[in-house]
Amino acid sequence: MIRFENVSKRYPGGREALRGVSFHLERGEMAFLTGPSGAGKSTLLKLVTLIEKPTRGTVIVNGQNTSRLSRRAIPRFRQRIGVVFQDHKLLYDRSVFDNVALPLVILGLGPREIERRVRAALDLVGLLGHERDAPITLSTGEQQRVGIARAVASRPDILVADEPTGNLDPELSLEIMRLFERFNEVGVTLLIATHDLDLIERFDKRRLRLVDGLIESDTAAPGRAA
Amino acid sequence: MTRSLRRYLSLHAQSFASAAASLARQPIATLMTALVIAIALALPAGLRVLVGNASSIVGSWDTAVDFSAYLAAAVAPERAREIAEDIRRRADVEAVRLVTPDEALADFRARSGFGEALDALGENPLPYTLVVRPASGAAGDVEGIAAALREIDEVELVQLDTEWVERLRALLGLAARVLDVITALLAVGVALVVGNTIRLEILNRAAEIEVIKLVGGTDAFIRRPFLYLGLFYGFAGAVGAAVLIAVVLELLAEPTAAVAALYGSDFRLAGLSAGDAAVLFAGGALLGLAGAALATARHLRAIEPR
Ligand SMILES: Nc1ncnc2c1ncn2[C@@H]1O[C@H](COP(=O)(O)OP(=O)(O)O)[C@@H](O)[C@H]1O
Ligand SMILES: [Mg+2]
């Protein structure tokens, strides 16, 4: 589902953020991307969502080589990927409902279908009843859950999250990770960047550890290890 | 409805709502921008109405090629009638009216409003006047009659009113050309004002545009609310311009009627015709759209998620 082949990324004028990274995340797999700050986690996720393109190597997402996608093809590509950000990236002048509805509106769904899916997504993250609220009136954890509802409302094949629990207390963090685990159970492929090792200890999932732009270790889910 | 049409309409409804919401968020700024556009549109449109009115006055003189020949003050009534008869017999003359000094004075008194000043004169200073109506409006014919009149000793002055009509007509033609240039310049101005307003709106909403691009919004989807915004500004400006013109014409109505009455005319200022209004509204909307298209083409691409 997500395949990196010897991928390097050098920012203009900067040093190499990724240096020959290779891995393959299968359809329906869930993995944590760990490593210290500055290791290249965000860069790797940006290559998946086509915010950046690799300097060298190949990134294949959903069967598509991202280096070969034209500018015009990017929106359709992104419509099949859900993204969760550490800073939520909500639209603060719109209601919770409108925020979650945004990707569905982009897909051109009818109002009834949008309503149904938004409510389903908000129900999943435990925010049903908050449709009319302004995001600013919600707590950080609730805002993050609105962001997650938006990411899953369009039922994407892939969900990537960059430090989704970065600003949350341990209890809320655990709750959010459990949420991701449930998406994985219904077949969504997930790649989650986090440096919260204590948190991921509690999940039986694959771990990719990045250090200084290199994959230092790629450990399969501990429970499944031979 | 087919699925794709429904999808299309729903996207447009959403864009429209988004544009309307962004206008409602800053009503004062919206109003100011619309007012600037209204004034820029009202200027050429209003001048066009005025020139149109002037042209219609001059145009109504097309058939009025009558001209006057003033006889010397001392000419006797019999001689005056004789001269009138001679001229009337010409083939190129349709009619001649002889105006006596008394008639001329009464007429002048009634039209000019200088009655009391005339009373102070005591004696009637006006001569006999021949008002000649040529058989055709052709310039050559008129000149021929005028030349014949000038030959007559007792004719003191032949006044060809048509000359200044021609000059006025030429001036109005020039004014129309100048107006075309002004219209073109202000049209560009309107497009630029809308374009700049849209540019600021795009910059204000850069974060939002980034998020929309991140969740897969196409360029067309992102552009659409801004195009609606431009269309709205242009149209609202045109409506404002029509209102401004109507108000100014209303203010001018009474003074115009008073002047017209002095000339014995029941002339009334004409406002925007339905056709003019349609052109104004469509033109305003299109200029707004053009300005928005320009701004989105230049500025949306630069905003990319990081
Ligand atoms: N837009 C950018 N331009 C230049 N350098 C960047 C940019 N983004 C990240 N970097 C650099 O790339 C390296 C990896 O950053 P990042 O991928 O954000 O790491 P992480 O998310 O693991 O903290 C860092 O050294 C960072 O300074
Ligand atoms: Mg990071």
For residue A102, list chain B residues with Cβ-Cβ distance below 8 A: 211-212, 215, 217
pLDDT value at residue B284: 96
Minimum distance, in Å, between the CA of residue B289 and any CA atom of chain A: 22
CATH class of the region B73-153: alpha beta
Please report the atom of ligand 1 found closest to the CA of residue A195. Answer: 22
Instruction: Name residue B147's amino acid.
Output: A
Nearest to A83 among B6, B25, B214 (CB): B214
pTM score: 0.76
Closest CA to A121 of A157, A146, A92: A146
Q: Which residues contact A22 (CB under 8 A, 6 or more apart)?
A: A4, A5, A6, A7, A57, A215
Using a CB–CB cutoff of 8 Å, tell me whether A47 touches chain B.
no
CB of A194 closer than 6 angstroms to any ligand 1 atom? no
Element (H, E) at A19: strand A16-25
Gap from CA of A9 to ligand 1 centroid (Å): 10
Q: Considering only CA atoms, which residue is closest to atom 14 of ligand 1?
A: A40
For residue B20, list chain A residues with Cβ-Cβ distance below 8 A: none
For residue B303, list chain A residues with Cβ-Cβ distance below 8 A: none
Gap from CA of A163 to ligand 2 centroid (Å): 7
Closest CA to B18 of B161, B166, B226: B226
- Gap between the Cα atoms of B111 and B105, Å rounded: 10
pLDDT value at residue B37: 93
From the candidate CATH numbers 3.40.50.300, 2.40.50.140, 2.60.40.650, 3.90.850.10, the one assigned to the domain spanning A1-80+157-226? 3.40.50.300
Using a CB–CB cutoff of 8 Å, tell me whether B7 touches chain A.
yes
Query: What is the average pLDDT across A118-130?
Result: 94
Does residue A225 surpass a pLDDT of 50? no
In DSSP terms, B133 is beta-bridged to B95
Gap from CA of A73 to ligand 2 centroid (Å): 26
Which residue matches tokens 């709106």? B201
Q: Which of residues 149-208 of A touch B (CB under 8 A)?
A: 150, 154
CB contact under 8 A, A75 and B11: no
Ligand in closest contact with the CA of A36 = 1
- Gap between the Cα atoms of A160 and A39, Å rounded: 17
**Residue A159 or B26, more confident:** A159
Which residues have their alpha-adjacent CB atom under 5 A from ion ligand 2?
A: A 42
Please report the atom of ligand 1 found closest to the CA of residue A9. Answer: 12
For residue B204, list chain A residues with Cβ-Cβ distance below 8 A: none
pLDDT value at residue B187: 94
CB contact under 8 A, B25 and A93: yes
| Pick from A113-122, A147-156, B21-30, B159-168: least confident | B159-168
pLDDT per residue of chain B (306 residues) written in tens, 0 to 9: 566 666 666 667 777 777 777 777 788 888 999 999 999 999 999 998 888 888 877 766 655 467 888 998 888 889 999 999 988 898 888 889 999 888 888 887 777 777 777 777 777 878 899 888 887 666 667 778 888 888 888 888 888 766 777 777 788 889 889 999 999 999 999 999 999 999 999 998 898 899 999 999 999 999 999 999 999 999 999 999 999 999 999 999 888 888 888 877 778 888 888 998 999 999 999 999 999 999 999 999 888 888
- For chain B, the domains span 10-60+166-299, 73-153
CB of A100 closer than 6 angstroms to any ligand 1 atom? no
pLDDT value at residue B68: 86
pLDDT value at residue A77: 95
Pair B241, B284: CB distance under 8 Å: yes
Nearest to A79 among B14, B216, B305 (CB): B216
Of all residues in chain A, what percent carry a pLDDT higher than 90? 80
pLDDT value at residue B6: 66
CATH 3.40.50.300 boundaries in chain A? 1-80+157-226
pLDDT value at residue B7: 65
Using a CB–CB cutoff of 8 Å, tell me whether A93 touches chain B.
yes
- Gap between the Cα atoms of B102 and B110, Å rounded: 12
**Residue A226 pLDDT class (50, 70, 90 cuts):** very low
If you measure CA to CA, which chain A residue comes closest to B216?
Answer: A75
Q: What is the largest CA-CA distance in chain A?
A: 51
Closest CA to A79 of B220, B210, B206, B212: B212
If you measure CA to CA, which chain B residue comes closest to A76?
Answer: B216
Gap from CA of B253 to ligand 2 centroid (Å): 71
Query: What is the average pLDDT across A162-170?
Result: 87
For residue B19, list chain A residues with Cβ-Cβ distance below 8 A: none
